[in-house]
Structure 1
Amino acid sequence: MVVESENILGSIRKHDRLVTKLRRELREFAQYLDDPVVTEIMLNSDGRVWVQKSGAGAVPVGTMSANQAQAFLSSVAASLNEIVTREDPRINGVLAIDGSRISGQISPISQTPTFTIRKHDKTKKRLDFFINQGVMTPNQHSYICRAIEAKKNIVVVGSTGSGKTFLTNALLHELSCLCPHDRVLTIEDVCELNVSSENYVSWYTSPTVDLRGLLHESLRAKPDRIVVGEVRGGECYQMLKLWNTGHSGGFSTIHANRGLRDGLSRLELMCAESPETAGLGSEWIRRLVAEVVDVLVVITYQGGKRKLENLVEVVGVDDHCEYLVNAI
């Protein structure tokens, strides 16, 4: 027990030293990690640092030298047990300071070091927050709540920075209030989802276990709800299969820039990337998407404001295999 306690204390001290080092290398820009209004911190190729605040556009706040940025990214890489080099000039992971998500690049991808820090919003908000912010209508709010209670499968669609994760976290909080006894399993690459339910398990991908592997493992955790942070490829088919075989009521997000139709097309294309769908044909995949995905929520961010661009119920397909949807 003494040895174990000493090891734990040693790990804590090591983490504290690392956090101090990272803050020192960020210098004056570290303050924005502590600002609850700031959502993103971005270093551009010209050395200017920009910050994005909730409900406002990005503004420049200063400059960072290439040497300072290189030192910071090298320390971030070391904290992730990685090395950033010309041969491997990218870094993606979680910032040890506060759990924010960081993506960094050095030469030859970028002439000078660049990075984007997306802060992890730890606040837990219910869906009615989005009514107060003018993001959704009371009617849309009521429909989504009924869909959660009815164990409908909900996919949130949007571009980068649109608020997909923010909205999904609100869905999770609403789920904990409406269905408090459901066991929730979340699966994601990095920790971004805030689970409010008492009975939950959170899994993360690793260099040896990807999203598909975790989805395959998920049934052993006996979840009532399976929530996937974001699907980007063939694992989409695995997720839909699980939702369609006794594990309905799941949430997920996908990246799509052009709204409703683009979101449905993205789901089809990702399913087609799975080896399991080889030879099944595009029409079969479309019918699967229409059968399994019950609700599509399209969220946008323009002019410093978020808005539900579309909220639709997916009814099925017609005789020509075109989607049938009801706008809410």
Structure 2
Amino acid sequence: MLSVLYKNALLSFLLFIMAATTFAQTRSFQLVPLGVKGGIDESNLSAYLVAPYGSSNYICLDAGTLHAGIEKAIANKVFSIPAEQVLKKYIKAYFISHSHLDHLSGLLINSPDDTAKTIYANADCIDVFKNNYFTWKSWANFANDGEKPQLGKYRYEVLAPGKEISVNGTALKVQSFPLSHSNLQSTAFLVNNNGSYLLYLGDTGPDEIEKSHNLQNLWQAVAPLIKTGQLKAIMIEVSFANEQPDKTLFGHFTPNWLMKEMSTLSQLTGVKALQSCKIIVTHVKPPQSQINHIIQQLKDINSLHLNLIYPKQGKPILF
């Protein structure tokens, strides 16, 4: 009798291990939010570490907050090494969507303690780094171009829209797409991990308000990946509540506008396929009362029954 019980227990344990292993193998990415908000709180501004699941070789999508977010992640037992070592060893490159300070100030402030890395961005954003940020009157020129002397810690690389590039030190590839953000060109990054994808959008407004076709072009590009289940998540901003007038959106989304764009995307993918893709809501602007209000508005109008996720600083998302 004991032998039979032992065999049954062993079989159950092996089946559990096999199931857990299979589940783990279905994961493609680990996302560590270092900053999730869209303003006011300088300790929690847009920055997301992304790596293949099980890897510590990350890229950083925007870099509004670094050190404070890394400390939060350490407190949540995401990392077991000191914050300065995460900065130096785990972050392999920066992908900056546009030149507004809330998306890159953490990179600037932490640059004296950082290690050599590449800064990837569109041409306009790189020009702002050269002419406004990494200059000797505002900071120091830690880059390999611009005002002399050039310290050469960072290397600029201008992204060509639509061209996929491999990121040194990681298993990831990234393709960029232009976005419209009021008076600026912003960027969407499509991150590829061996055929599984994550789409991160920097700040952007709806095509109808921005008088642009950038989002439509982006949706057409990623729709096939959604239909095949390869696109695991879309990270997209909702900065303001629905009460914000269209004329003062300044290149941002409200819940109504997000759902309108998701409806447009669903026409290309089918609703069921889009429901299988996580929609990670970013860049929600404080105060907390407004954040709660935006979340409730999204819940109330989520007629497509999308899988909406609200990231929290320092808490990993695995998918």
* TM-score (norm: length of structure 1): 0.31
* TM-score (norm: length of structure 2): 0.32
Greater RCO (CA < 8 Å, at least 6 residues apart):
2
